[in-house]
Amino acid sequence: MRPIKWLLTNQLKYSGVRQKLNGFTLIELLVAMIIAVLVITPLLGFMVNILDNDRKEQAKANTEQEIKESLDYIARDMQQAVYIYDADGIAAIRSQLPKYTQKDQYFPVLVFWKRQFVSGGLTVASGTDDTFVYSLVAYYLIKDNNSTWSQAARIGRFQISNGYGQTDTDREDTRDPGFKMFDLSNEGDLKSKMNQWVKTNETYTQDILALVDYVDQTTIDTTTNPEPVCSTGQLVPKFSGTGDAVATDNVKTRGFYVCVDSANTVAEVYLRGNSLARLQTTNLNFDQSNQSRKIYFPQASIRVQGRGFVFTK
């Protein structure tokens, strides 16, 4: 029996050594997993937080940049303005402008006449020559249900121009449908003459082209989003009262408004973006009492004076 006992004892010892050398025990694996979870979970949370903050900062930066670029574009566009319509003017001519039947979704905030440069518009003996024509430009605040755009508002630009050329036929062929020159032979001062402008009976073929998206769509509220006030000039749009100069429903917002001094061809243009619309699809409104939300609504403004003028008696 002794040899058998000796063999069994050695076999058990050898098996125990082999088991130790072949891997970890179940307890060791469980401990390792717990340690890994305790270490990795905070790291993952930290990384997710960094990525989320970076996404928010990028949304704010992009919106702020686009607002500034849009203001610069509008300012350049207005440099050759000869007349800017104030609230009285918008009320007078809005029915002549596009989207009049969609007042709750489209509002012509900034409307002006300008001299438009046309390169090579005239044919002369030596080739071509440059010229200028009059154009009517309108910047719209738009808030509709078009799924192509964000759930915030956007700004669109509309323009119609007079024709150019050496003959009446040339000028008629190059004129945008619906365009009609303002008539300075009417009675009254310049403002009253400009406010009497009407389009031709033709249907407009020029589209309202988008300039910038992610404009604040928050409707006016006396507590969270009060209506703005102009120190000089007339506010466009108006937010109270009646008439075609008053913004209604979807476009009753201060995301895009102007203060206009028609007599001096001056406009102060105000824009406010909405970065939240880049990050989420609900709870997008501005609230002036909520400081943590206000940082997602970058604001900018610019004062522009048109360099052109219209001579009238």
**Domain spans, the chain:** 46-305
Cis bond upstream, residue 237 (ω within 30): yes
- Looking at residue 99, its pLDDT comes to 97
User: What distance in Å separates the CA atoms of residue 228 and residue 237, rounded to the nearest whole number?
Assistant: 10
pLDDT digits (tens, 9 = 90+) for 79-116: 999 999 999 999 999 999 999 999 999 999 999 999 98
The whole-number average pLDDT for the span 56-65 is: 92
SS3 225: strand
Q: Which band of pLDDT confidence, cut at 50, 70 and 90, is reported for residue 4?
A: low
User: What distance in Å separates the CA atoms of residue 204 and residue 108, rounded to the nearest whole number?
Assistant: 15
User: What distance in Å separates the CA atoms of residue 119 and residue 126, rounded to the nearest whole number?
Assistant: 15
Residue 236: DSSP 8-state: E
Please state the pTM of the whole predicted model. 0.84
- Positive or negative, the CA dihedral 237, 238, 243, 249 is positive
- The per-residue DSSP string of 198-216 comes to ---SSPP----EEEEEEE-
**Burial environment of residue 96 by CB neighbours within 10 A (0 to 12, 13 to 18, 19 or more):** middle
CB atoms within 10 A of CB 263: 13
The whole-number average pLDDT for the span 232-257 is: 97
- CB-CB contact of 99 with 105 (8 Å): yes
Q: Is the pLDDT of residue 168 over 80?
A: yes
User: What distance in Å separates the CA atoms of residue 165 and residue 173, rounded to the nearest whole number?
Assistant: 9
- Looking at residue 5, its pLDDT comes to 57
Q: Is the pLDDT of residue 133 over 80?
A: yes
In single-letter form, the type of residue at position 241 comes to G
Distance between alpha carbon 19 and the CA centroid of its chain, in Å? Answer: 70
Q: Is the pLDDT of residue 193 over 70?
A: yes
Token pair, residue 57, equals 């900062």
- CB-CB contact of 101 with 244 (8 Å): no
Q: Phi/psi zone of residue 98: left (φ > 0), alpha (ψ -120 to 50 degrees), beta?
A: beta
Residue 96: DSSP 8-state: G
Question: Residue 81 is inside which H or E element, if any?
Answer: strand 81-84
The length of the chain in residues reads 313
Token pair, residue 195, equals 């406010």
Q: Which band of pLDDT confidence, cut at 50, 70 and 90, is reported for residue 265?
A: very high
Q: Is the pLDDT of residue 61 over 80?
A: yes
- CB-CB contact of 158 with 97 (8 Å): yes
Q: Strand 153-161 to strand 209-215: parallel, antiparallel, or no bridges (unpaired)?
A: antiparallel
Q: Which band of pLDDT confidence, cut at 50, 70 and 90, is reported for residue 73?
A: very high
To the nearest whole number, what is the mean pLDDT of the chain?
88
- CB-CB contact of 212 with 194 (8 Å): no
Nearest to 228 by CA among 176, 181, 288: 288
Q: Is the pLDDT of residue 48 over 90?
A: no
- Looking at residue 166, its pLDDT comes to 81
Q: Which band of pLDDT confidence, cut at 50, 70 and 90, is reported for residue 121?
A: low
Q: Which band of pLDDT confidence, cut at 50, 70 and 90, is reported for residue 23?
A: low
Most confident of 46-55, 123-132, 187-196, 253-262: 253-262
Q: What percent of the chain has pLDDT over 70?
A: 87
Residue linked to tokens 């029996």: 1
- Looking at residue 17, its pLDDT comes to 47
Residue 249: DSSP 8-state: G
Q: Is the pLDDT of residue 231 over 90?
A: yes
